[in-house]
Chains A and B, each alone.
Chain A
Amino acid sequence: MPLTLAALRQHGALEDLSLPVGRFDPRGEWRHTYQIWLVGNRARRIGGVLQLGRSAAAGNGSVTLKVDMSVVQLAGTIHRTKATLQCAADPLATPRSWQIESTIVDSSGKPLDVTTVAESARVKDGTIEVTAGTRKFVRNVARVFTSNWSLFDAVQRLSGEETKPLEFALLEDLDLLKEGQRLSYWKTMDFELGGRTLRLHGYQQIGNGILPYQYWVDDQHRLLFAISGVRAYLFDPEAPNRLEQRLQGPAARKGRQKR
């Protein structure tokens, strides 16, 4: 069946989640941790971790998003991405400048230096000026754009049924430009999980170069789940420990031997 919240529950992906309770201010400071949960023909399991934090708006109206993402590759290496984004305090949390580093690290945590990409960038007059070491590059960008990580912030500030659709280009991972995106309200539903009934508000994103995203926020506007294709982001402060357990577990060792 297509990957939905109900399918995730059926796969057992939601069983041990400790979902948050209490008040949440999407315009304030927060830090969320997500499992990156992957479903394949043979495996349904945690495949990585996304940690995302937001600072409150500064005097100049900008907010800062911090990203730390690890995705386990089949051969046992990890693709690690760290980024800090200064974003406009607008509905899309539009990135204005950023620093990003991507590298492949081996199973002991050592980076394969040859794979490391470190960049800083700033948006200026419809272009992005990128600095990588001593080199500078200029990229074109759409007038209205945002990043995939900004959207995790942005959907928490949408207003349910009252939301007007947002249209923009996606700068995925602050690098890959995907035009023609549309983010809109989808539906509200009650969802039973862990003995609780969650009232969830769903938004959908459709556009070039992505499979449709479902974003689910709770009544406090906290983003709990995002689902796209065969991938889901599950709110889970324990995600780093779970990933570590997977990497140290017998299945991982067996898999490495098989390869």
Chain B
Amino acid sequence: MKTTGNKKRLASSALTRRQFLTAGTAGAAALMAGGKLAFGAPAVGARGRPSFLFIITDQQGLDTIAAGGCLDVATPNMDRLVRTGVSFLESHSTDPLWAPARSSMFASRMSSETGVIVNGRPIRSDIPNLGQWLGQRGYETVYAGKWHLPGSFPTEIPGFKLIPTGIGGQGNIGDAAISRACQGYLRNRADSDPFLLVASFLQPHDICQWVSMHRNAPDELPYRDLADRLPELPANFHYDPREPAKLKKIARPKWSERQWRYYIWSYYRHVEMVDAEIGRVLQALDDSGLAESTIVVLTSDHGEGRGRHQKVLKNYLYEEAVKVPLLVASPGRMLAGKRDSTHLASGLDILPTICDYAGVKPPRGALGRSLRPLLEGKPTEWREFVAAEVQTTGRMIRTPRYKYVAYEGDPVEQLFDMKADPGETKNLAGESKHAAALEEHRRLLRDWTSRLDVAPRRATKGA
């Protein structure tokens, strides 16, 4: 009865339905070439396959979830995903900046390959995005919220039916529209085909405005009730000053200890804001009876400084910027409450994982690995390292023990022993007893870089 009612309602408002579909139609049309699907395989029937809810937050560091051990935040909704699914504790952004990281999530290619090395550029036209790929293979692909490839909140996205919601710089109020739109979609959808719904929130990104507004604020707490609520400074607030020049160029606020703590406190409130919006969408999944048939994936594009190495914001390769949550949950389909601290994961892995569960091969050239065996607790050979980059000029290699960072043209390299020094406070690159490790990681980086299908450089700058 409900389905019929929904169909009637949608049919009776053909104009609005058509408007809703416009972007998706345009996206699909763009994929067609001479009657063939531009990216190869024909569409196949889709019944019986799981749906996907892909939740993206913006600027959320890895260790910002209460159930993951963060004592300074209340995140009951992300906690639920931690409890019911698998969380990867060695999860890395491919490029800790908005658009580059997102291009990797949606294309399973490094940002230097997608061509999105700065914000405001599209993914290279010969590389399909996840929406295009699944849309051709029987999935209804729907997107709400931030995109940034190139438009931040555009009016159309290739391969997706778009619900145009969200406000640049205003996750505090724009994210509500995104979660409400997703709630409506999940409750109202009439189709029985599986779906890929992307809920792409802006928070906790508003911390950028917060930092900007407080850079020169007076050294006092504006609210007396805050005094006994502020988190402690991080253990790696003091850091090794032998840094590459790029890191020194990124201005560190000249704040007092109290101001740093107030900033960290404020960041966690931003995280709680997005947690609440996520809760609305998860609740809608339950309410609509779709939870059992849906796999939930949550990640973020990059982290946030939080005073570690006395840094704010992102766009560098310290852990606070490059490590992001990666949660996958689908009760009955995979492990529950598993915290994987062993396997090195990457934003590259999202597309292959979704494809694996959808029963389709990932696009040719995809660099990521399906996380499925790890999610299901099955033995598998896993990668020896993950890589990340920043605007192609800085790159890192992370192996189980070491992290190596090099910036183009900069004689200062960084090598950290991540087992002994997870806060990256002591650069070992100049120490002779680590020379072999340094050389090995240089080699890994050279080999890895040489295998990339790098996109041609564009003259124009992104946003």
Please judge, given known A-B contacts A40-B169, A178-B276, whether A229 and B206 are in contact too, CB under 8 Å.
yes
A3, A40, A72 — which one has the most chain B CB atoms within 10 A of its CB?
Answer: A40
Please judge, given known A-B contacts A38-B167, A209-B273, A211-B269, whether A115 and B17 are in contact too, CB under 8 Å.
no
Q: Is the CB of A3 within 8 A of B213?
A: yes
B148-182 with Cβ < 8 A to chain A = 151-155, 163-170, 172-174, 176-177, 180-181
Instruction: Choose from A102, A113, A133, A230 the contact partner of B169 (Cβ within 8 Å).
Output: A230
B265 CB to nearest chain A CB (Å): 10
18 contacts between A and B (CB under 8 A): A1-B216, A38-B173, A41-B209, A73-B167, A75-B154, A75-B165, A77-B165, A111-B13, A115-B184, A117-B184, A134-B1, A135-B287, A139-B283, A176-B276, A180-B74, A209-B272, A228-B172, A259-B154
Task: Work out how many contacts link A and B, with CB atoms closer than 8 A.
Answer: 189
Interface residues on chain B, number (Cβ under 8 Å): 64
Interface residues on chain A, number (Cβ under 8 Å): 64
Instruction: Choose from B5, B163, B173, B177 the contact partner of A231 (Cβ within 8 Å).
Output: B173
Instruction: Confirm or deny: A67 has a beta carbon within 8 angstroms of a beta carbon on chain B.
Output: no
Hey, which chain B residues are within 8 Å of A220, CB to CB? Answer: none
Please judge, given known A-B contacts A212-B223, A230-B206, whether A42 and B169 are in contact too, CB under 8 Å.
yes
A133 CB to nearest chain B CB (Å): 7
Per-position binary interface string of chain A over residues 90-126, scored 1 when its CB falls under 8 Å from any chain B CB and 0 otherwise: 0000000000001110100011111111000000000
- Give the interface segment out of B108-116, B185-193, B353-361: B185-193
Q: Is the CB of A208 within 8 A of B173?
A: no
Q: Is the CB of B208 within 8 A of A113?
A: no
A114–B214 Cα distance when bound, in Å, is 40
Instruction: Confirm or deny: B252 has a beta carbon within 8 angstroms of a beta carbon on chain A.
Output: no
B54 CB to nearest chain A CB (Å): 18
Please judge, given known A-B contacts A176-B279, A186-B223, whether A114 and B17 are in contact too, CB under 8 Å.
yes
Hey, which chain A residues are within 8 Å of B189, CB to CB? Answer: 114
Instruction: Confirm or deny: B391 has a beta carbon within 8 angstroms of a beta carbon on chain A.
Output: no
Per-position binary interface string of chain B over residues 192-221, scored 1 when its CB falls under 8 Å from any chain A CB and 0 otherwise: 000000000000001011101110110000
Hey, which chain B residues are within 8 Å of A73, CB to CB? Answer: 153, 164-167, 174, 177
Q: Is the CB of B184 within 8 A of A116?
A: yes
B143 CB to nearest chain A CB (Å): 12
Q: Is the CB of B174 within 8 A of A103?
A: no
Q: Is the CB of B226 within 8 A of A113?
A: no
Q: Is the CB of A204 within 8 A of B170?
A: no
A186 CB to nearest chain B CB (Å): 7
B413-438 with Cβ < 8 A to chain A = none
Instruction: Confirm or deny: A61 has a beta carbon within 8 angstroms of a beta carbon on chain B.
Output: no
Instruction: Choose from B155, B172, B276 the contact partner of A211 (Cβ within 8 Å).
Output: B172
